[in-house]
Amino acid sequence: MTFRHVVCFRWADDTTDEDVARFTEMLVGLPGVIPELRRYHFGRDAGAAEGNFDYAVAAEFDDRDGWVAYQEHPEHRRCIEYVRPLIRDRVAVQFDV
């Protein structure tokens, strides 16, 4: 079984392309420092449907403990602190696959 975490953001009106690019750069580095991450995908919405969120992150772990380690990892916490002021809305879900 795999434990999956998905989070989506809507950016605040004053969030810039540079802000999003910096956030993306931060995410790129996480798999190299968080061994519990098995699969990691993220990016801007493709614009295929009206009303979607602006950005999504999908992460997979062996189990819930792996997700907890990711949540608590200092580099992940740094990403959260960076992105928090950039978002207007956030939604997340975790589930077993």
- Over residues 50-96, the pLDDT tens digits come to 999 999 999 999 999 999 999 999 999 999 999 999 999 999 999 99
Residue 20, pLDDT score: 98
Residue 10, pLDDT score: 98
Kindly report the pTM of this predicted structure: 0.95
- Gap between the Cα atoms of 38 and 3, Å rounded: 10
CA distances from 82 to 14, 20, 29, 39, 61 (A): 14, 10, 14, 22, 23
Residues 6+ apart with CB under 8 A from 41: 57, 58, 59
pLDDT (tens digit per residue) in 15-59: 999 999 999 999 999 999 999 999 999 999 999 999 999 999 999
Instruction: Provide the CATH number for the domain formed by 3-96 in this structure.
Output: 3.30.70.100
